[in-house]
A and B are shown apart, each in its own frame.
Chain A
Amino acid sequence: MTSNGAAVIVGAYEHPGRRLPGHTLAGVHRDVVSGALVDAGLALSDVDGFFTDSTAPGLGVIDIAQHLGLQCTYTESSEMGGSSYVAYVGHAAAAIAAGKCRVAVVSLAGLPAQRQMQSPPDTPTPAAAYQVNGYTGGYGPVADYAVLARRHMHEYGTTAEQLAWVKVASSRHAVHNPNAFLREEVTVEDVLAASPIADPLRKLDCCVVTDGGGALVVVHPDVARELGRTGAILRGHGESHKASMAGEVDLTYSANRRSAELAFAEAGITPAHVRYASLYDSFTITVLVALEDLGFCPRGAAGSFVEDGGLISGSGRLAVNTDGGGLSNNHPGNRGGMTKVIEAVRQLRGEAHPSVQVPDLEWAVASGTGFRLAANHYSSTIVLERFA
């Protein structure tokens, strides 16, 4: 059984809010599921598959599905951090191909700015006694990615200016997105002048913290043809875990390398076919490592790939995160995978902002990494083709 051609994304909706006082997680789930179904031209009663993460209120998917009014024959609440929503597209396709459901909804809601997000259970892991900088607290995600960035600089001569170009490109795109959390264009100098958080990463190397969410409708190709709505057909899907490798740590690549290899092999294309990529951008360094891992540039060459506007749509080497990405637009619930898929669908439909739309786009990839790139993490990559 293959994922290639097994399912089509016919609905995609990003919550327009970035600060949502007075909202609840259940309410945001309701808003985004409804928005995605309207976009697809389907009704709540059509849905028979539902996928969301462990932060949904209640037990797994059971309580939130009840609240939303869903009667499903297939559900999943597996937790892969920010990469979950990219993975769910592949999981939904597998369930559809196996005949378990025909109309699947993938949902994300988060309210970190309202401090209302229910975090996954904070049970200490066995590794925590030896990692996480003395077990708890002192080791935030910025420090983890900073260690990764330092090694990239050491091995390949990557510079802070090159990292800054990733943020600059995202800000150029966000100028055109009326919902973006940060809409002001920034320069390399602005990034370098921002306050340091964990050397070598500065404040503007970090993604935004936003409330909101999004949802996708993933359906059987027969359903998609009946709807007559354009969308994105799944051509390849891959996932991979990368752990602390029994102590043989190599920070020059991430789990993206394996997940992308699997996704491209299933799709039967190479990165050379792809002119738009949604790459996880929790931090600027996350994008650099992803460019190398997905094969858009040789290992160690991402710094020169991104500089001088390499990621800016229209003028750059590859259009990346044309919604402004997590760095400027939105990173709802501290989880970036959902918005990565949504912008890839917009691009394939030709519905991105005209200033950033890649003309006549046929192929796109969306890739997400969950948890900490310098430690234990998970990656999901999907290859999508325009469906009309």
Chain B
Amino acid sequence: MTEYFPGGLPTPRPAVEPDAQPWWDAVERGELTVPRCDSCDRSFWYPRGFCPRCGSTDISWRAATGHGEVYSYSIVRRAAGPWGFHTPYVLAYVTLDEGVTVQANVVECASDALVPGLRVRAIFERAEEGDLPVLRFIPAGEKG
């Protein structure tokens, strides 16, 4: 039986560290950036104002392609709080073409398409006015 996992998942407002503000500013413009350390010249995740490998604060907020592939996933069928109203939904790790692996939901996706290696692209969802946009992914072939 094919299941379909729609968008519209909750988007609770996170606590934002001030040094990651450039990432959130880009998100407000609808852009996905991946922080890159100018000292060791490597991307890292999650966004911080310093490199977790070498400690450098020389960080570039590089525009990402938004494309990547599913590294692993689970179809969540029981969940607590507001998420309980949205089961089943998909929790995944997605490896961006920039090389970092991020945790996010995959939405607007059918169960028979869902495999490690599925090509996906980034979208932002905002369920409520005042929420910050949340990074999510849809299958690369979908119009989002």
A interface list, Cβ under 8 A from B: 124, 126-140, 142-143, 146-151, 154, 195-201, 244, 246-249, 251, 374-375
Which of B12, B44, B91 lies in contact with A137, CB distance below 8 A? B12
Chain B interface size range:
35 or more
Q: Given the interface contacts A143-B91, A247-B44, A248-B100, does A134 sit within 8 Å of B75 by beta carbon? A: no
A79 to chain B minimum Cβ distance, whole angstroms, is 20
B interface list, Cβ under 8 A from A: 9-17, 20, 42-48, 52-53, 71-83, 86, 89, 91-93, 95, 99-105, 115-116, 134-135
Q: Which residues of B are found within 8 Å of A126, using beta-carbon distances?
A: 15, 17, 20, 46, 48
Q: Which residues of A are found within 8 Å of B15, using beta-carbon distances?
A: 124, 126, 128-129, 135
Q: Across the interface, do A147 and B14 meet the contact criterion of CB distance under 8 Å?
A: no
Q: Across the interface, do A138 and B10 meet the contact criterion of CB distance under 8 Å?
A: yes
Q: Given the interface contacts A139-B91, A150-B116, does A196 sit within 8 Å of B12 by beta carbon? A: no
Q: Given the interface contacts A140-B80, A248-B100, does A147 sit within 8 Å of B72 by beta carbon? A: yes
Q: Across the interface, do B74 and A143 meet the contact criterion of CB distance under 8 Å?
A: yes
**For the complex of A and B, 8 pairs with smallest distance between CB atoms:** A138-B83, A247-B45, A247-B100, A146-B74, A129-B14, A249-B101, A137-B81, A130-B46
In this complex, what residue of B is CB-closest to A125? Answer: B15
Q: Across the interface, do A135 and B14 meet the contact criterion of CB distance under 8 Å?
A: yes
Q: Across the interface, do A134 and B10 meet the contact criterion of CB distance under 8 Å?
A: yes
Q: Which residues of B are found within 8 Å of A148, using beta-carbon distances?
A: 72
Q: Given the interface contacts A126-B17, A126-B48, A198-B77, does A135 sit within 8 Å of B101 by beta carbon? A: no
Q: Given the interface contacts A129-B46, A130-B47, A244-B45, does A136 sit within 8 Å of B12 by beta carbon? A: yes
Q: Given the interface contacts A142-B78, A154-B116, does A246 sit within 8 Å of B52 by beta carbon? A: yes
In the assembly, what is the distance between CA of A150 and CA of B111, in Å? 14
Which of A133, A146, A374 lies in contact with B105, CB distance below 8 A? A133
